[in-house]
Amino acid sequence: MTWDWDYAREVLPKLLEGLLVTFEATVVGSLIAYVLGLVFAFIRRSRIPVLSQVVWLFVEFVRSTPLLVQVFFLYYVLQPELGLLWTSFLTGSIALGVHYACYTAEVYRAGIDAIPVGQWEAATALSLPRSRVWLGVILPQAVPRVLPALGNYTISMFKETPLLIAIGVVDLVGEARGVGAQSYRYVEPFTIAGLLFLLLSYPASILVRRLERRVNRQH
């Protein structure tokens, strides 16, 4: 096994293209996970008959089954069945986002539960309407507390995107496999792919830890 610097330089642009796709899938997935997770947390908390139970069941189901199965199900079953013309990238990003929304829902729930009951009571005593209590009092206090946990899920998602190769998304690892297959040299592309993951994940996790310390200091 030898290392060829020229070959490494040659494949790098292709790999960076793949990294961009990985990046985009992570961003789309995170946005879905952040928004949908909050919606799930709301619905479960609201105790609307049937709907709350349905969401609870869905969340438990998604958390108990492999992401790959969900990706396949969405791509091969649900998407054609509903006549949606989603690209594999969009399908994969949505699957990723919905999967992680079932985890962020729990994060939001814990964050909301951590707000002292006195805050709710003060809001009631001032007759603030429900929407203002949420938007003005509860969420502005709960969301900063849960940012580190949300950040950690984004990092996890970033590292899980190669799973989307299974439905034809060419991400960083997909590109590495592709260029490797053309020249039968895999050492450089896979090594570089791994290093790129490390180069991004590690500083990101340090940032999250720093954020965590700051949040803990404030509470």
Partner 1 sequence: MSTDSTDPTITFDAVTKRFGAHVVLDELSFTVDPGEFVTLIGPSGSGKTTILRLLMTLEKVDGGTISIDGEYLSHMERGGKLVPADEKHLSRVRRRIGMVFQQFNLFPNMSVLRNITEAPTRVLGLSKGEAEARAVDLLDMVGLSDKASAHPTQLSGGQQQRVAIARALAMRPDVLLLDEVTSALDPELVAGVLSVLKEIASTTDITMLCVTHEMQFARDVSDRVMMFDSGRVIEDAVPEKLFTSPEHDRTKEFLSAVLNRA
What residues between 136 and 165 interact with partner 1 by CB under 8 A? 136-137, 140-141
Using DSSP's 3-state secondary structure scheme, residue 203 falls into helix
Q: How far apart are CA 167 and CA 94, in angstroms?
A: 13
User: Binding residue for partner 1 (CB under 8 A) from 124, 182, 205, 216?
Assistant: 124
For residue 122, what are the CA distances in angstroms to 48, 114, 116, 136, 138? 25, 16, 10, 12, 11
* 216: contact with partner 1 by CB under 8 A: no
Sole window of 68-76, 112-120, 171-179, 200-208 interacting with partner 1 (rule: CB under 8 A) = 112-120
Sorted by sequence, the CB contacts under 8 Å of residue 137 that are 6+ apart come out as 119, 123, 128
Which residue in this structure is represented by tokens 């792919």?
193
Task: Name the one range near partner 1 by CB under 8 A: 71-79, 125-133, 180-188, 201-209.
Answer: 125-133
* Stretch of residues binding partner 1 (CB under 8 A), selected from 58-66, 76-84, 135-143, 195-203: 135-143
How far apart CA 58 and CA 99 sit, in angstroms, is 10
Choice between 52 and 119, CB closer to partner 1 = 119
Where do contacts with partner 1 occur on this chain (CB under 8 A)?
Answer: 116, 118-119, 121-122, 124-129, 132, 136-137, 140-141
